[in-house]
Structure 1
Amino acid sequence: MLVNWQYLFLIHLLAFVIQKGETSERDVVTHIFENYDKRIRPVRNDSQATLVKIGMNIISVLDVNEQQEYIKLAVSFDNGWHDDFLTWDPAKFNGTTSIIVPADLIWTPDVTVTSTVLDTEYIVEKKDLNPEIKFTGDVRLNFAYVLSNRCEMKTDNFPFDSQECVFVMSSWSFATNRIVLEHIGGQRRIQNLNAEWDVFPYTNETTDYYLEPENPRRRIIYRMKIKRKSSYYVWVIIAPTFIISALSIAGMFAPFNSTGDREEKVSLGLTTLLTLAVILSLVTGEMPRSTNLPLLGRFVLFEISICVVSVALSICTMFLHQRATTRQWAVPRWLLYIVQCKRSDRINDGPEIKLPKSGLDSNRKCSEWLKKDAENIASVCFEQFSQVIADIKQLLVENKEAEDRKTLWLLVFDRIDLTLFFVFQTVHIIYFSVTFAFDFQS
């Protein structure tokens, strides 16, 4: 029976302790909010400024809009300040050292991001926030929202560009004689915040600015650096454009056959220009609009320009080659010297076509056949035969000279094509190396 009374006593004692613990926090709220006015800055001495400590943490970078020059990201802010009227003695309230109450019950500083002119969306509505209050009067409030902040975009080096975005935290209403802002460190480690951009840890500085000459205001400036991930543009746009242009240059200045036909080269050049025009249309959709042409745009325009010049020179070479062979132009010596070609031997030094030394056999055949005027008829036959042989020889000489001239022109234009190939390919590679060497290393 005694044991049962002991158990009953312990149960009542435990219930009393639990009830006491449950009512202690409620008693604290009743005590500290009895004469509390959230409309007034919580200091007992009006000449004393309220120190508001602020820390910023980047949750995720949602969007970077280069055309409209703004960045959209999710951030959280840790705010802390001291409220002189929210204090109590834990010994009087069952050792309660902290409470959590709705934010709309207490005074909160009107500190916000003043550098944005776009909409700001709270992840948790401000009226639903619950700050923590310590018995010493220290208040800590965490809130997060989606911030769209103006960010001046410098895209001259696109797609290897880096951007620096500035966020300014300040009080809308209070000068430094009433509210002083101070940054607290300890930002979280930043990683995998965006698929297109690398986000680096921000830096901060605290400065004063003046809206009124006698009342400076305190602000905290956060500078966040982001760098574009350029791998997509390198492998999808830059590398294919360079390879297509290099192959086009090689195709336009290389002989397709031994006859020197060049129509296929012009067709190849025009096809390459069409391909580069399609690539440029893709690049235009990716490039930000700015007063200066970005690096990628300059590169694609250079590739188009070098292909245009290549096609133009190929057309000029085709025109001159056709005129030189059809008009039977002689190859100038200075051109032979420039292209380092040797003139081939003329056909006059070739095998000699010998004529009969005498017309005895012909005269005999003619005399036997005609049986009269043998000597006169033989002489006529001999002269006609000699003239035919001379005409044939002259025709062979002219054909040989024309063929040699055509072959020599073909060699000359082959040397010209080879020279243009090395010149254009060298310029192409040098421009590519100078333009992207530093960016690839970085």
Structure 2
Amino acid sequence: MGVKAGEYTVFSRAFKAYNNEIMPGIVNASGNKITVTTHIQRLQLLDVEEVEQSVKFFIDVRLSWTDPTIRWDPALDTQKTSSIKVPEDTVWSPDITIFSAVSKTFPIPSSRRVVRVNSDGGVVKSTAQIILNPCPLNVNKFPFDSQECLFRIGPWAYDNSEVALRPFLAPKLNISDEEYFRGNSEWKIVSIEVEAYADDSYGKGQVYDEVHYTIKLKRAWPHYFWVLILPTFICATLCIFGLFMPSESSGYRFEKVSLGVMTLVSMSMVLETFSATMPKSSTLPLLGIYVLAEELVCACATLVTVTLSLLHERATTRRWMVPKGLAKMLLWHSYDTHIRTRATSIQPMKGGSVLSPHLSRVSSYLRELESDDALAAQWMRIFDRLDIIGMTIFQVINIIINLAILVGRS
């Protein structure tokens, strides 16, 4: 490592009798504990594993403390050197680590890392690392959810009678600079809360200082709206229209079970798509409830359509008479009134011709056909209006479900 002449002189003088294996307070026999200040100066979210319930961060933790055994007077140096950079293993360092992390990767090996030492004995150490930290996820409101992940930083062997750990800023860090605090394409860092904590759970009168960083993340939900919620809504809407609209201009009803079944299959595939990426929990996420509700709406609409088709077929083939109450409710236009009385429009032929018996039978047959056509027309009009009523009811339910999920995100 290249150094200036002044830095070399200061290093030779300050570290001449220095022992980096012994805590400075013990060397001086002063009994004073070392106060270490910790600060997160860079944080970047790399990944959130929903299934494993863990988060991966690139984090740069800065530690600063005062080592009373490393001091010099800059006035005695011709170049007025007030600080120098030395290899990390040259000075004593507190064993402060992120012990909530399950794995750590250091992009810069310890042999290449340096610390800054000031003339008053102040030491500043910066450790960049990639960590995997457990983070219990509450996905009840997925994809409109927010998560909180806890990082615990503290000494591994030194209790607070030897090393006192303090946060640099509390209770919140300033994360307005997105260059140093960044989320990823799916998550945004909302805030970082800082809390000093004393852990006395080890017993024997030992208390260990810790600093807790609670990182709040918010999911970017528009992606899921465009690729999951909106297509599901469109699919359900088209399914309802397709089930209750006549397939021919004549107005005759045909079974549309295949359309409903295909819609249910497509929605099941949507449900399977996101359930594979979600942690297994006792409750279904909001998006899962939404897709399941839309499936239920389409299933009920399919069942109603099949029932109406069956009733329509039975009413026309078995010549059921239209109940008066049903006719009054659903047949009210002038055209409806006309088809209700059309069966009596053909009158029996009068006269005593030889052909009268034959003409009477033909006339009776024609009247029967006219009556059947009129009855079929009545039932067709009734079931057309039942279709409109059913389509309106299910579309209203469909819209209410979509409004509910958008309101539920708040």
TM-score normalized by structure 1?
0.83
Q: Which residue of 1 aligns with 2:264?
A: 273
Work out which of the residue numbers 87, 90, 115 in structure 2 matches 1:131. 115
Write the distance in 1 (CA, Å) between the matches of 2:32 and 2:245: 85
Write the distance in 1 (CA, Å) between the matches of 2:284 and 2:69: 59
Work out which of the residue numbers 222, 225, 245 in structure 2 matches 1:234. 225
- Gaps spanning 5+ residues in structure 2: where? none
Work out which of the residue numbers 146, 157, 162 in structure 1 matches 2:146. 162
Q: Flag the 1:411–1:206 CA change in 2: closer, same or farther, 3 A.
A: same
User: Any idea what SS the aligned residue of 1:218 has?
Assistant: strand
After TM superposition, the structure 1 = structure 2 runs for residues 232-311 of structure 1, keeping only pairs within 5 Å, are 232-263=223-254, 265-311=256-302
Structure 1 residue 418 corresponds to structure 2 residue 388: yes
After TM superposition, the structure 1 = structure 2 runs for residues 211-222 of structure 1, keeping only pairs within 5 Å, are 211-222=202-213
Asked if structure 2 preserves the Cα contact closer than 8 Å seen for 1:102 and 1:131, the reply is yes
Asked if structure 2 preserves the Cα contact closer than 8 Å seen for 1:32 and 1:87, the reply is yes
The structure that is helix-richer by fraction is 1
The two structures, once aligned, show a CA RMSD in angstroms of: 2.2
Cα shift at 1:423: 0.9
Structure 1 residue 32 corresponds to structure 2 residue 14: yes
Structure 1 residue 102 corresponds to structure 2 residue 93: no
Cα shift at 1:213: 4.6
Structure 1 residue 224 corresponds to structure 2 residue 224: no
Asked if structure 2 preserves the Cα contact closer than 8 Å seen for 1:66 and 1:289, the reply is no
Write the distance in 1 (CA, Å) between the matches of 2:255 and 2:42: 58
Q: Which residue of 2 aligns with 1:366?
A: none
Q: Which residue of 1 aligns with 2:306?
A: 315
Write the distance in 2 (CA, Å) between the matches of 1:207 and 1:145: 23
User: Any idea what SS the aligned residue of 2:284 has?
Assistant: coil
Q: Flag the 1:386–1:163 CA change in 2: closer, same or farther, 3 A.
A: same
Write the distance in 1 (CA, Å) between the matches of 2:384 and 2:400: 24
Q: Which residue of 1 aligns with 2:178?
A: 190
Write the distance in 2 (CA, Å) between the matches of 1:225 and 1:303: 32
Q: Which residue of 2 aligns with 1:431?
A: 401
2:70 aligned partner, one-letter code: L
Q: Flag the 1:22–1:278 CA change in 2: closer, same or farther, 3 A.
A: closer
Q: Which residue of 2 aligns with 1:370?
A: none
Asked if structure 2 preserves the Cα contact closer than 8 Å seen for 1:88 and 1:136, the reply is yes
Deviates more, 1:329-338 or 1:195-204: 329-338
Q: State percent identity of aligned pairs.
A: 29
Asked if structure 2 preserves the Cα contact closer than 8 Å seen for 1:25 and 1:93, the reply is no
Write the distance in 2 (CA, Å) between the matches of 1:262 and 1:387: 39
Q: Flag the 1:348–1:431 CA change in 2: closer, same or farther, 3 A.
A: closer
Structure 1 residue 69 corresponds to structure 2 residue 39: no
1:240 aligned partner, one-letter code: P
Structure 1 residue 41 corresponds to structure 2 residue 23: yes
When Rg is computed on C-alpha atoms for both structures, the one with the higher figure is 1
Write the distance in 2 (CA, Å) between the matches of 1:345 and 1:260: 18
Q: When the two structures are aligned, how many residues end up with a matched partner?
A: 394
After TM superposition, the structure 1 = structure 2 runs for residues 77-156 of structure 1, keeping only pairs within 5 Å, are 77-94=61-78, 95-116=80-101, 118-156=102-140
Q: Flag the 1:129–1:196 CA change in 2: closer, same or farther, 3 A.
A: same
Asked if structure 2 preserves the Cα contact closer than 8 Å seen for 1:38 and 1:105, the reply is yes
